[in-house]
Amino acid sequence: MTAPLDLLDLDTLLTDEERDVRDLARRVADDRVRPQIADWYERGTVPVRDLAAEFGKLGLLGMHLEGYGCAGASAVQYGLACMELEAADSGVRSLVSVQGSLAMYAIWKYGSEEQKQQWLPGMAAGELIGCFGLTEPDHGSDPANMSTRARRDGDDWVLTGGKMWITNAPVADVAVIWARAEEGVYGFAVPTGTPGFAAREIKHKMSLRASSTGEITLDEVRLPESARLPEARGLKAPLSCLTEARFGIIWGALGAARDCLHTALEYSTTREQFGRPIGGFQLTQAKLADMTVELQKGFLLALHLGRRRDEAGSLRPEQVSVGKLNNVREAITIARQCRTILGGNGISGEYPVMRHANNLESVLTYEGTSEIHQLVIGQALTGLNAFAG
């Protein structure tokens, strides 16, 4: 947290090593992302390869994984890095989440030794970019009904179908693709140069504009058995990857909210109306107070989940759902409220607030919508599955 928003001195709950990682991520976000982010956002572009190379040098890619060139950081350290990157922009944090928690984690957890050696060191260094294709045009919240098929043909596999809304896909070197075979859902590490694989950039996004998002088509993509992730059996494999990425979002969303609140607080003490700073009006102070309370509560929640994960080695899906549901929902509420404090300037790209608010619309939807997380929590509470009605 950045004083004066850290009313509860939550910074004191962090170790020196954790603060070091946080400061490193904050520095790279400040130096490398902030000066250019408004321009990237407006133009709807982002230099994924340059950023990945810089993040890789600093050990920020797949940082919570062990071996293969990964930093082996704790869950809390990883969360703090996500928070600082997303304080600059959710799109930049998405780049890191998809690379580390989705693509690298899938290969690290479910891949063969040969696949790990082939992909992970280059991905950790930011020399190779990965993406993770689960969502399809007709199947988002309900991936169990996916249409993409994996068919055996002699010793090979042939993939047919399509994936939608895939972060990093247009620039990726390797795509982790989930497809239904006769035996169930399988994952494949697909080199994107394989004939029949194509990724088209999705244009006209009003959110997450500083992120590369693609639609993948798989037209009879022929792969050897060695491309299949041997340890991934069934839908629980991709869902476990989502649990990884959702953990980073719990922290990341707080970064976006903090940046909005920081901006609104500063603005409220310098902008004058009726002869006094707008921060001197009780209604503005009520907004600032409520937002600060929520931000600090969100941080405590993230830190609790991070400490649990570091101690227990993993979190239950419903625990991650509590964090993602609350922290993204509160972050977007804070961003919208901060927008009101900036008045007309709130809609300008000169300030980061509207950009964060727009980005958080994507964050609210991806990695499980709020409704899906409510259903996960509801099922944990009642033992009843309400997903299908």
Ligand X SMILES: Cc1cc2nc3c(=O)[nH]c(=O)nc-3n(C[C@H](O)[C@H](O)[C@H](O)COP(=O)(O)OP(=O)(O)OC[C@H]3O[C@@H](n4cnc5c(N)ncnc54)[C@H](O)[C@@H]3O)c2cc1C
Nearer to ligand X, 23 or 387 (CB): 387
- Amino acid making up residue 116: K
**Phi, psi (rounded to 5 degrees) for 216:** -105, 135
- Amino acid making up residue 360: L
DSSP secondary structure string for all residues of 271-298: -EETTEEGGGSHHHHHHHHHHHHHHHHH
Both tokens assigned to 35: 């000066």
Cβ pair 302, 251 in contact under 8 A: yes
Residue with the shortest CB distance to ligand X: 140
Q: Is 135 in the site for ligand X (CB under 6 A)?
A: yes
Helices 236-270 and 353-365: crossing angle in degrees, nearest 10, is: 160
C-beta of 109: minimal distance to ligand X in Å? 16
Kindly determine how many residues on this chain lie close enough to bind ligand X according to the rule CB under 6 A: 21
Q: Is 359 in the site for ligand X (CB under 6 A)?
A: no
Both tokens assigned to 377: 């929590």
Is-catalytic flag, 272? no
234 three-state secondary structure:
coil
Stretch that binds ligand X, among 57-65, 78-86, 162-170, 339-347 (CB under 6 A): 162-170
Contacting residue, 30, 50, 114, 371, with ligand X by CB under 6 A: 371
Q: Is 165 in the site for ligand X (CB under 6 A)?
A: yes
Q: Is the dihedral of CA 13, 19, 25, 27 positive or negative?
A: positive
Contacting residue, 232, 366, 373, 376, with ligand X by CB under 6 A: 366
Nearer to ligand X, 138 or 225 (CB): 138
Q: Is 240 in the site for ligand X (CB under 6 A)?
A: no
Q: Is 365 in the site for ligand X (CB under 6 A)?
A: yes
Q: What angle do CA 209, 215, 220 make, to 5 degrees?
A: 160
C-beta of 187: minimal distance to ligand X in Å? 12
Q: Is 369 in the site for ligand X (CB under 6 A)?
A: yes
Q: What is the spatial distance between Cα 133 and Cα 215, in angstroms, rounded to a whole number?
A: 9
Rg (CA), the chain: 21
Q: Is 192 in the site for ligand X (CB under 6 A)?
A: no
C-beta of 168: minimal distance to ligand X in Å? 7
Residues in contact with ligand X by CB under 6 A are 98, 132-135, 140-141, 165-167, 208, 213, 362, 365-367, 369, 371-372, 375, 387
Catalytic residues: 367
